[in-house]
Amino acid sequence: MSQTPERTPVRDRWTHLNWVRKFQVAFRGLGIGITRTASFRVHLPVAVAVCGVAVWGEVDWQGWIALVFAIGLVITAELLNSAIETLSRAISQEENPWIRDALDIAAGGVLAASLVAMTIGVLVLGPRFWP
């Protein structure tokens, strides 16, 4: 039976730098996703428009929670889809049925997230405009 080495808590003064670096990398990824992904040219203006309509429609805090969740869901799905697309391009430029299927599944995830977000938007905003 192999033994795993005991883990001792790391308590040195450099530990917080690991978290700083993780956040730097995460914000870099968010920036790349927003600036280099064509889909964000659609998703972000729609998100801003939804927020504007929510302000105009005086949405309550529960509605805001649902809308923010829906917007976050779509943006997260799009970022993951973009990561898979980028990795797929790095792996192979040739036609590959496995890569095509992975890309289609990721795109399906964005579609599912968008449909859920649209449903939430209609449920939250609809009654304010169509009584």
- DSSP characters for 45-108? HHHHHHHHHHHHTT--HHHHHHHHHHHHHHHHHHHHHHHHHHHHHHH-SS--HHHHHHHHHHHH
The per-residue pLDDT for 107 is 97
So where are the chain's domains? 15-129
Residue-wise pLDDT tens digits, 93-106: 999 999 999 999 99
Q: What is the CATH number of domain 15-129?
A: 1.10.287.3610
Task: Report yes or no: 44 and 53 within 8 Å, Cβ to Cβ.
Answer: no
Residue-wise pLDDT tens digits, 66-77: 999 999 999 999
pLDDT of 38 > 80? The answer is yes
The per-residue pLDDT for 7 is 58
